[in-house]
Structure 1
């Protein structure tokens, strides 16, 4: 028990030190925004999530992805949570059809509403949940800026336009991240969120069976890994899933970078990191980050950066009682 406590403290101390470089960079968001209005809300969120994860560990990856997909469309405003009217909301876009965790966010929101009605936004709960999903997967415990408010617009077309493609190269990915004021390093670091979770065969089958349109296979794939994937993802049977980090699929660590470096990246966008000299250098650096201090610190900073994208604060937006329901 003492060893576990010591590891948790190390994970937290490393990240707190890293966070010093970003404190004060965004005046509208702040650490401890709810300290006076809803004290203990972050602990409340974490306790509810601990219970939820005990029943479904796969939701840890789901909630991390949910936050990412929300922030890249209209900013971190919980617009992804909004239920669709005539199948036109973000959640109905093809890239979001496999996103999970909506019910978990609603369950957490209900607990928070019972204690602090109409005070804590769904957008803030999503940011906290992503952080706690990482922490409960043995990742870093970093501080989350709060003070976001919820948006009231959700458009399928914007999700199709703004979410990075799973087969994009570094140039394409850098553009998608740059539009959101995220740096090249943020892109390489946040790609490591793929150390958790799975992808459907349809997301990478082209690399196995029709890479250039000539019925060929991506030559950058490790042959043994490609054979393993082909055994699961047979042509015409693309509903199966494979872990995005084949080394440590349920643990938040540098297994993702080790997989990429070994040409065992599942998605084309992950494999593409090796095609760029700077991205490739960072990948190789992280494979040797034995104590994970550098990776954890970098990931914490980039998650805070992403959490600032397009936020609504002050009197903008609203606080929804139920995350999926529009408020007129």
Structure 2
């Protein structure tokens, strides 16, 4: 049984993840991921990663949301292979794409990787460290504790067009979002559940300004927005403001909880893609279910399973890919 984790002072849920094979779309590559992959080759590495992250989180309370997003953008870009961390002199790597322009957490992964290299040189992939970091970020912000599969290897190709093609848009409706998730072998439920990663973190004004000033192209406002919430947003995000950020969850912005779904239900979702969940009968039903505080354990269990599913996207294992000593190298 994979060891479970808990952060001191955080709310935690111990999850035993038993997922029926009939519910997974696994090929021979993803099947090679396993729990406790490094037990022999780098024993204690997950504890080492967690300890380093605790210090980083204490110094920067915004970092957990950044690392969760970093893992999501890497997996959707071209598979969970740390290709997002690669650099390009010519601006052609994934991290150079517009959807990744505000992604952060690169330095944190590099700092953790350096500590891991001191203990176990060229054994643990950057991709696995990213998966661990996302898991630890969720748990640190009082979300669920869950075990992650490891055994990923790092990719050495990073293409800007992959990020442009595969990352879901911030203004997509449920139909559009479902298509983007299905392209990654993720289910409709995975889409609804993983949207709640927006329980923590922020978004820049341009990500939602159309809802405030040009919803239909006629200089209007999204009528579904709660009036008081819209007034608050327009006061802070004037037209043309590109620097200001707003919390994705205005009620509990640093806590991974059901606040996200409560905000969606009460028309206080920041992004159009989040607000769209309420406009579909199936996703709307899940949103409504999650407005009940007693549903938190169900949500935590669902989120853990969906994160495991996402962590299998396009992984490299075995002899495919590499183990890099440094995550953010140049590829051209």
RMSD between aligned alpha carbons? Answer: 1.7
Mapped contact 1:205–1:233 kept (Cα < 8 A) = yes
The runs of 5 or more residues in structure 2 that have no matched partner are 1-6
Query: Which residue is 2:13 aligned to?
Result: 11
Structure 1 segments, 4+ long, off by >2 Å, are 4-8, 22-27
Mapped contact 2:89–2:330 kept (Cα < 8 A) = no
Alignment of 1:24-63 (within 5 A): 26-63=30-67
Alignment of 1:109-148 (within 5 A): 109-148=113-152
Could you say what secondary structure the match of 2:233 adopts?
helix
* CA distance in 2 between partners of 1:318 and 1:160 (Å): 25
* CA distance in 2 between partners of 1:27 and 1:322 (Å): 26
How many corresponding residue pairs? 320
* CA distance in 1 between partners of 2:261 and 2:223 (Å): 19
* CA distance in 2 between partners of 1:84 and 1:187 (Å): 31
Query: Which residue is 2:195 aligned to?
Result: 191
Mapped contact 1:205–1:238 kept (Cα < 8 A) = no
**C-alpha offsets along residues 61-111 of structure 1, whole Å, 9 cap, x if unaligned?**
000000000000110000000012311100010110100000000000000
Query: Shift of residue 236 of structure 1?
Result: 1.9
Query: Shift of residue 7 of structure 1?
Result: 7.2
Query: Which residue is 2:246 aligned to?
Result: 242
Alignment of 1:146-185 (within 5 A): 146-185=150-189
TM-score (norm 1): 0.94
The runs of 5 or more residues in structure 1 that have no matched partner are none
Do residues 287 (structure 1) and 285 (structure 2) align?
A: no
Query: Shift of residue 326 of structure 1?
Result: 4.9
Query: Which residue is 1:65 aligned to?
Result: 69
Mapped contact 1:209–1:215 kept (Cα < 8 A) = yes
**Cα 1:5–1:242 shift into 2, 3 Å:** closer
Query: Which residue is 1:219 aligned to?
Result: 223
Do residues 200 (structure 1) and 213 (structure 2) align?
A: no
